[in-house]
Structure formats: C-alpha cells, structure tokens
Structure 1
Amino acid sequence: MNTTFLEKLVAVQGASGDESRIKDFILNHIKKEQNTWKVQPKIIHGKGFQDTLLLVFGEKPTTAIFAHIDTIGYNIGYDNELIKIGGPRAIDGMELVGRDSHGIIETELMIIENENGSVNYKAVFERTIDRGTVLSFKPNFRENDEFIQSPYMDNRLGVWTALEVAKTLENGAIAFSTYEETGGGSVGFLGKYLYDNYDINQALIADITWVTPGVTHGNGVAISMRDKGIPRKVYLDQIIGIAKESGIPFQLEVESAGGSDGTALQESYLPFDWCFIGAPEDHVHSPDEKVHKEDIKNMIAIFEKLMTKL
C-alpha cells in the first residue's frame, strides 16, 4: 500500500469554512492524474459551488460517492482564546499550526480550568494571533505494518478512497463536499445538481467511523445500518448483498448517534438513498487517529465493487 499521497492529503489545512486550499490541492491532483484513469471525468466546480468539487464519469452515472474534504480545528477568538470548529478533542499541550497576517504559527493548546468549573482553551504564543485565524492539528503521519496513525484520517482517508476508485470508475459521480464537521451545508446543492442534471438518486458516503465494542480494527470496513440517520432498508439490503457476494471483509455497524453527509441528504427534500461505509478508527477527532491498513484496503475494494454493481 503506497500511502505517499495520503500523507500529503492530511497535511493540507482545510477546516470547515476554510476548504479552498484542500479543494485546490485535490483539483490539481485530478488534473495531473486523470489521463491515466480509465475514464476522464467531467470536472464541475467554481461559481455556485463554493469550495466543493464534482466529478462525473461516463454517460450513465447512477451512484455518487460523497466524501467531505473539511476537518475539525479551532478559530482564534479574543486574546488567543481557542474556539472549536466541529468537535476536536482538546488535549493540554497538543500542537496546533496555522498562519495569520504576521506569518506562520506553531503553538500549543492550554486548558484553563475556571473556578466555576467551566473550561477554556488558549493558544500559547508569544504574541496575539489575529482574530478568526484557523488552527489545525500539526501533521504527524505514522505508519507501521498494521496501522496508519495521523491527524485527519477523518476524512482525508475517505477522500483518498474516492480518488482511488476514480482510477477505474466508468459510470458514476464523486462529490467532494464541505462543512460536514459543522453540520453540513454543501450536500444539499451538490445532491440537487446531480439529481437535476444526471438523475442520480443514490449515494455512498466515504467517511470514517469509530472503533466500538461492535466494530473493531482489522475485521473489515464498516457498513453502517444506522446512526442518527436511518438508510432505507431496501437500499441497505442491496448493498449488504453485494458485499456478501464480493467476499470483501466487512462489519455491520448499528449506532444511535453520529451523522455524516448521508444525514444531510436524508434531511434534504431530495429522494436520495444513501449508506455510510468506512474504516473504523481509534482516537477519534484527535491528532492520533488510528486505522488498520487491511480495513483501508477493504474500504477501497468495496467502493470499487459497489460502484460497478449499484
């Protein structure tokens, strides 16, 4: 497994609301590599699409992969206060990086416990950082024979999966969405465009789930039967049937909470079927997100299979 490009992906800053750099990075990669793909896609982006990106392959696309490109992080408030973007874990001394009008920032998070029991977070830095500056976990990509551990496997691993599938995809679409970590915001108009222009009404969500007592490392990609959202059972059964026939290892996930681009599709007015499929990770929303390499391989393989069968 060559993870060189994945390591580059996780190093590009792109917290919710600040996705322009990661969008441009992905777009440049596509333009460079698409001539080696089986089918050259139609690339849709620009005015009216914010920092999202759509790829449409072939004459008869039926299914879209949705992969969000944004991450969690922090904004600088007043006096170097840190305000969460999404739900990052706050660990005293964790390293954060960014840039403001004065230059590059490398700082640490300090947890301040107040007398009333509340908690504040502050960036330890020799000067006041510009208000609104976005800070992210410092890149720290680690790999051994079994695991990859890095900030932002959620969801750069989903993005990487989609780009791996793109190499051989003949008919289908890939939607690189934004704002997922803060509750969605682009899935509605991406879904509408695909539905109105290509009659696509089914989706696979390429994202990363959690290691739990029921979903563990090394036992296959997780097919989620539900989280906060509930996929339509007919569509879910079709996906599970294809997965069983393929022989690709997978686990069934059943959760009561959590959401994704699939939840945003379900909450829209669009008649989209959807299913969340992703490798399980440990140390969620931290600088040490950990995923088993066999689960990554199975994630890519099952997306490749489903995009030819649905």
Structure 2
Amino acid sequence: MSRPSDTIVLAADGGGTRCRLAVSDGSAVQCVEVGAANVSTDFDAACAELMHGIAALARRAGLEATQIARAPAYLGLAGITGRALADRLAEKLPFDHVLIEDDRPAALRGALGSKDGFVAHCGTGSFLAVQNGDRRSFAGGWGPVLGDQASAQWVGRRALACTLDFVDALKPASELADSLLSRFDGAAGIVRTASKMSPTEFGALAPVVTQHAKQGDALALSIMEDSAQYLSDQMLAMGWMPGLSICLTGGIGPQYAEFLPAPMQQELAEPLGDPLTGAIALAHAFQKETRHERC
C-alpha cells in the first residue's frame, strides 16, 4: 500500500492490554499490534508503544515517514481523560493532523455502526455507551482506581478480595478461593502480590473466575452476578428500554449475557465490528473534516 498521503488514513485502538494500529485507503487495510497503550497508567510507555507501532505499520504498508506525517490520524486510546492529555500526546507523535479521543467512541462506532443501541464494553477496563440518532452518551471508563466496574481487572481484583473474605470465614466453601489461595501461596501471598499487580495482571485472573462460574462455584457466580447487576443498573439509568439492542464487547463482556435480566437478554446483538473498525471509520470521517477545512 504505497499511496499518496491524501488518500490514506491512520487509526489506532489502544487499551490496557494491547494497541492495534491500521492504515486504510478506503478499500484495503493493513494492521499491526503492539503492547498496552493506556496513557494515564503509563504515559511514556504508551508513547513508546505508539511510536513502535507507527514504525511497524509504515514498514508493513510501504509508507515513507512523510506520508505517515501527512495522513489524517484518529487515535482512540484508553486513559485519555481530557483535551490537555490528548494535546500532550499529540505533541509526541509525528502527525500533522491528528484527532485523539478516549477509546469509547471507537468502540461504540465499531459495535453499532450508525444504528441505535447500547454497548457494554468490558475488557481490561470498562464503560457503557448509548447511541440514539445523533446523540451519543458515555458512562464509566474512569480507570482502575475509581471505576471500571465489571471489567476484567475488577473481576480479578474482586476475586482476590472475596478469597480473603473466605479465609475470614465470611464466604462459603469455594473451589475458586481454594485455587487462588494455592496459586498465590496463601492469604499473605495474595496481599503481598496484589499490592504490586497491574490492571492487566488482575485482568488475567478473570478467566479463572468465569470458568469456575460455569462450574457453579458460588463465589464466582456472585462476582459475575454483581458485575451484571452493575451493567444493567447503569444501562437503565442511561435510558435503556426494550427494543434497544445491547452489544456486550471486550474480553469478558460476552460472559455476562446469561446474568443480565431476561428483557435485556432478549435484546442482545452481535457487534457489527470491533473498536479498530470504529477507529478506522472515525479516521475517514476526520479525513473529510480536514479536507473541508483546507478548502
């Protein structure tokens, strides 16, 4: 894909586990994947991963540095909490025209396209979004310290906390708790290790919880049920009603399907695309805006 910079766009979908970058000319797409790119968790590391990804993408697509710099770029990145942080990042990147937002708009656009509905995204982090005509609203996505309920990292963190309740005889017998105590060498090991764990490392425990939930473990089921309750409560508060579709996205998102209220289960729909698909679509929209501004 060696094309003039006025015919191509660059897009990125970056989260707490991985970052995917793509170049598109409207018909063909080239992609690369690099490591985590959460600019709030580690700004310098996120910058390094983005620069590494941009260089790898240029090589794969056969683009020169000047073509990369001149192409309109849209980046949807976890951890972008406002304009100041987006501007700070833009200064570090080699783009002449770049629009940087948090990762929620790209996920919403990828899942729903132009259709109305809700997205409950639960990956390493989490958020909820609704699209109704030209109206878009978002809730959550405030990071592992103050939010991200029902995310993979929240589930992993909650599993460890509930295991300590089990040690204190506040929770009933649980194979999940037994497995975590064995894995971390007892309660002291859980406390010692958890104090140093990253959101990604907490999130890596989520599959252990979902697997035990499928086996009927009471502790695992309670965690999944609490998470699904949070999602349903938030969607109701955001105006969900029967007839509006719901897409469960992210690594753990689809695991909540059976735990949602029956009316919501009836409206579950497969996403039309993923967040990178949404980022590419928004990059092309940004391309049109920049062309209009230059005319």
Give the TM-score normalised by structure 1: 0.27
Greater share of helix residues, 1 or 2?
Answer: 2
Instruction: Tell me which structure has the larger Cα radius of gyration.
Output: 2
Greater share of strand residues, 1 or 2?
Answer: 1
